[in-house]
Amino acid sequence: MSSKLTLPFIFSALIFLIHLNFSSGQTVVKAAYWFPDSGFPAASINSSLFTHLFCAFADLNATTYQVTVSSSNSAPFSSFTQTVQRKNPSVKTLLSIGGGNSNPATFAAMASQATRRKAFINSSITLARSYNFHGLDLDWEYPSSTTEMTNFGTLLTEWRTAAANESKTTGKTALLLAAAVFRSADYYSINYPFQSISNSLDWINVMAYDFYGPGWFPNNTAPPAALSASSVNGDAGITSWIKAGLAPKKIVLGLPFYGYAWRLLDANNHGIFAPANGSGIGTYGDQGYSQIKDFISQNAARTVYNATFVTNYCYSGKTWIGYDDTQSISAKVSYAKTTKGLLGYFAWHVGADSSNWALSQAAISMEFRSISYLIIPFIFLVSCSSAQTWIRAGYWYAGSQSPIPEINSALFTHLICGFADVNSSTYQLSIPSAHVQYFSSFTDIVKRKNPSTITLLSIWNGLAERRRAKLGGENANFSVMSSMLEKPSNRKSFIESSIKMARRYGFQGIDLNWLWPNEASDMINIGKLLDEWRAAVTYESRNSSQSRLMLIMAVRYLPAFESLIYPIESMKRNLDWAHVVAYDYHLSSKENFTGGHAALYDPLSHVNTDYGIRQWFNYSFPASKLVLGLAYHGYAWTLANPEDNNGIGAPASGIAVTQDGSVNYKYIKWYTRSYRAPIVYNATYVVNYCVIGSSWVGFDDVEAIRAKIAYAKEKKLLGTNVFQVNNDDENWALSRAAQEEGNGHENKRRLLLIILLPITSIVILIAIVVCYLQREPLKTRGTMILGNSRASDPSNLQVFSFSKIKAATNKFSSENKLGEGGFGPVYKGKLQTGQEIAVKRLSKTSTQGLEEFGNEVTLTATLQHVNLARVLGFCSEKEEKMLIYEYMPNKSLDFYLFDPTRQYLLDWRKRVHIIEGVTQGLLYLQEYSNFTIIHRDLKASNILLDNEMNAKISDFGMAKLFGKDELEGNTSRIVGTYGYVPPEYVKKGIYSMKYDVYSFGVLLLQMISGRKSTCYYGPNESQHLLEYAYTSWKEDKGPEFIDPSLDDSSTSFKLLRCLQVALLCVQENPDDRPTMLEVYSMLKTDTQAVPIPTKTAFSGKSDRDKESVSTSQKGSCSVNDAQISELQPR
């Protein structure tokens, strides 16, 4: 079976298997607490990472026993729900009552009497409703007697009854009820009321943290929230709750986004439970995660992950901090989801996370790990067939005078042009005037032989400083780089000029080649520089629509040296790779014995490449971001006793051959040929050397290069980087050897692929058959019961049988047919439970097919938003492809918008409501979901309306999914709907977020005018909708374009403002169009200035598309929503 056929087959099969797995899933609770005193604004919460957010804390009045909110908290509490729902409208909010600083005696007194409990319950429900919360959370820390536990159970029972009664009376969705509880099912041998908790609460938040802290455990360091191994641990607590009879789906695991600092008695004894003497920072030692990361960066602290305890810790000097980092957070979420089957997790507290939401991202990344047994084989095969590119990089130095055209760029994936200098006053980059001609032509010339070669601009400290750093000696911080790093303004000047220079000369990345930082402040400031540099190149890429510039850096062979440590975490976050300068270990100008200056191993010393690489691994730097440096040069010594001792380590009396003893490979090969000197390969050190008279030259020949490539492959490094390519000989012997050795490993990989692909295909085929045959038993277990879907669980896709859908639609009768689109007919159905559904059935004559079907199933399984249509499930029996949606009683927007009678049912207020809904849906797709999603078919007929006329974007069959760092894509298969497709897509097949902005602009023009996009208007009916709108606005005749029946006097959404915003969205150049965030801001804020639109994009008129239309719709029209099936771009 060919790989072209096999891989799509495997992928389609995996989609099927994955959705069988999803159909039995339950929504995971991904929650976090927020409180105003944290100093973290609610508006800054990335609510797209959470399903539930707790607003903490409301107070319990000790006299009236009513729940109250302090005057200082009233404003942030009242706006909390609206604020966090801007980024994620589907997030649920809960008001939390009590907390660790509240008086537990007040709660005990409240729970002891029925009248007091009633006062608490009624006031809590009233307060939650008045502040628009979706639920309530009780944080009573803790009931401490058997009587208090009994009363706690009574309180919960009455609370649930009251909440249910309130829901029935008001018709509102019942409030969620949760409670924070102790780490174990008993509070120091006093059992919680399990039955009341099970019957009354939606879930409990188990506070699996604060096990140890310097305030109550001062004499030893300890893991504050260990999952296992420790005498007090999270697993023991969770297990006790389950053994007590509480269902795992009622349990939510607590995750601390903070830690505690101890002061070590001995800085050299720094493990878990090391002797300590109280708090290491402040009075109590508590530190938020972002503070801990700052401590690590500023103090070059050593970080450790202990998998036995499932905890992280760091230390610097006598300060030791125990905390949870991404490794322990990921492990705990995996434990909750996979090992224990819990409902989810919550974090205390959201404001303590890092600026890039590292912990929250780590937690959410585990959400779909439970299906890894299905996708790991596929990932392995894909990695075999399309493995990460093996980097073959190399430096070219302009000062070498070696002509650029002579570079054999076919042998390299990346070429680095060196070097730009840093101005000591402005800290901007400059290039020596004599070298400008080389930099300006470098990319163009090397791409002639190899268009895929990526070029990078390298920045150094200057030739003199490089030589001084290389030779050592002074310890003073003489570097211009050090001065540049000291101040934010200096770093900004450096960063901006580096990006500008790279773009000017057509480079695709930037390399920092600083040999070497020599103070602790240098290392700390490098970390800051990399954070700022990465942010700047990302911002520049988004605003310029160019691919993001790569960032790489040269580093020493050791991550820690002379009491200095590289900023590992910052490097991991921000660099595409770090290339290890694995050479110049021994120099003839410094040492009086011969040495392998680039030795891979050294049995007598740690000064060797293997030791250095292992040290980088020990400091948790990933192999996938390490590139091994290769030297195309060597060093020559004068032997002291050439006749007696001429091996590695032989006595020498200084340099030979050249002024500084350095010799390039090209010269070495000429030298050995001229004197017919034998070349020795030493496999112990993995070096070559030759002896000519009293001269001894150590270098790397093809044997050493091949061995190092094999080593790099074995260690799973990213690749190799040569210094420098123009030192190779005229036949490119070293570079060809490197390429051949690398290709040898790739050939083995391909052979493995050829063997495994057919085997894996057969295994997956068998799995499909087994899963298919087991569908009925799965249904009987209640995981895929037809017609019993949970409306509160939007990701619970069901697999429907053909017979059930046939019965629900009355055998697909014409009376049940709602309409027909590009996919096929849509039928109304009714399940046996009474639930109404809409069934979209793929037509055999449709231009859409398996790709669109799979696309919609895949995306809608993971997308959750109130303004996106929800797919309940799918059917793929008997060669059928059907999608089952929730039924929308008010049909779609086009049903009203273009009908001469029904359009009057949509007054301007209702249209504004729909516009806002569509805007929110697009914001979710483009900004707030985990991926960027381009819909590519946004139009009136794909905007469904529920019973309250809420807009729901539907039909994701043509959608495309991007990673967050991708800006655009390209296709040769053009699909979409005439009138809604932007010009860059039709002409070049380019699609980006600005595609949907364009479609939204067309839709907005239709909403304010009631006109179709495929009609012609204006004088002699010669203008397309967009042209007519632009002309009307340009000539101050906007009111003539707008539907005269619409009245905007009672809303801030003004019709003429909407016209101008719509015209901005449909401009011909996609770069000129606003983002959806900017659109939303312009529409919502009537005081914000709206830019002047340029002339819009519009299509020429086609006679064949003309069709008569009702006289109430002025102009000549073609069939609305005509589908583009497939078109090759010009």
Give the whole-angstrom CA distance, residue 344 versus residue 92: 14
Q: Give the containing element (helix H, strand E) for 662.
A: strand 662-664
Q: What is the CATH number of the domain that holds 954?
A: 1.10.510.10
Residues 881 and 899 in one domain: no
Give the whole-angstrom CA distance, residue 571 versus residue 382: 28
pLDDT tens, residue by residue, 236-263: 999 999 999 899 999 999 999 999 999 9
Does residue 390 surpass a pLDDT of 70? yes
Domain end: 858, 886, 914, which one? 886
Residues 61 and 106 in one domain: yes
Is residue 1093 in a domain? yes
Q: Which residues are annotated as catalytic?
A: 141
Residues 55 and 155 in one domain: yes
Cβ-defined contacts of 62-71 (< 8 Å, 24+):
62/103, 62/106, 62/109, 64/119, 65/106, 65/109, 65/110, 65/116, 65/117, 65/119, 65/120, 66/119, 66/120, 66/123, 67/97, 67/120, 67/123, 67/124, 67/127, 68/123, 68/127, 69/127, 69/131
Q: Nearest 5 degrees, angle CA 586-CA 739-CA 598?
A: 5
pLDDT tens, residue by residue, 893-950: 998 998 888 888 999 999 999 999 999 888 888 876 666 788 888 999 889 998 889 9
pLDDT tens, residue by residue, 797-813: 678 888 899 999 998 89
Residues 301 and 402 in one domain: no
Distances in whole angstroms, Cα of residue 106 to Cα of each of 59, 95, 111, 348: 10, 19, 9, 24
pLDDT tens, residue by residue, 25-59: 446 799 999 999 888 899 889 998 999 999 999 99
Is residue 674 in a domain? no
Residues 801 and 905 in one domain: no
Q: What is the CATH number of the domain that holds 182?
A: 3.20.20.80
Range of the domain at 366: 28-375
Residues 749 and 873 in one domain: no
Residues 737 and 602 in one domain: no
Residues 417 and 499 in one domain: yes
Domain end: 331, 347, 375, which one? 375
Please choose, from the candidates 556, 489, 562, 478, the residue with its C-alpha nearest in 3D space to the C-alpha of residue 529.
489
Domain end: 319, 344, 375, which one? 375
In this prediction, residue 978 carries a pLDDT of 65
1101 vs 770 pLDDT, higher one: 770
pLDDT above 70 as % of the chain? 82
Give the whole-angstrom CA distance, residue 636 versus residue 644: 18
Is residue 678 in a domain? no
Residues 629 and 711 in one domain: yes
Is residue 565 in a domain? yes
pLDDT tens, residue by residue, 261-294: 999 999 999 999 999 999 999 888 999 999 999 9
Is residue 1079 in a domain? yes
470 backbone dihedrals φ, ψ, rounded to 5°: -65, -40
Give the whole-angstrom CA distance, residue 163 versus residue 177: 9
Can the peptide bond before residue 724 be classed as cis, meaning omega within 30 degrees of 0?
yes
Highest mean pLDDT out of 203-212, 758-767, 787-796, 867-876: 203-212
Residues 246 and 349 in one domain: yes
Give the lowest-confidence range in 88-92, 104-108, 221-225, 473-477.
473-477
Question: Over the Cα atoms of the chain, what is R_g?
Answer: 34
Mean pLDDT of the 1011-1036 span: 85
pLDDT tens, residue by residue, 126-141: 999 999 999 999 999 9
Residues 542 and 397 in one domain: yes
Is residue 996 in a domain? yes
Does residue 477 surpass a pLDDT of 60? no
Specify the number of domains making up the chain: 5
**pTM of the predicted model as reported, rounded to 2 decimal places:** 0.43
121 vs 968 pLDDT, higher one: 121
Mean pLDDT of the 488-510 span: 94
Is residue 554 in a domain? yes
Residues 188 and 326 in one domain: yes
The rounded Cα 1024 to chain-centroid distance in angstroms is 41
pLDDT tens, residue by residue, 513-536: 987 788 888 899 999 999 999 999
Q: What is the CATH number of the domain that holds 808?
A: 3.30.200.20
Is residue 810 in a domain? yes
pLDDT tens, residue by residue, 885-906: 888 888 889 989 988 888 889 9
Which SS3 state, helix, strand or coil, does residue 1024 take?
A: strand
Does residue 387 surpass a pLDDT of 50? no
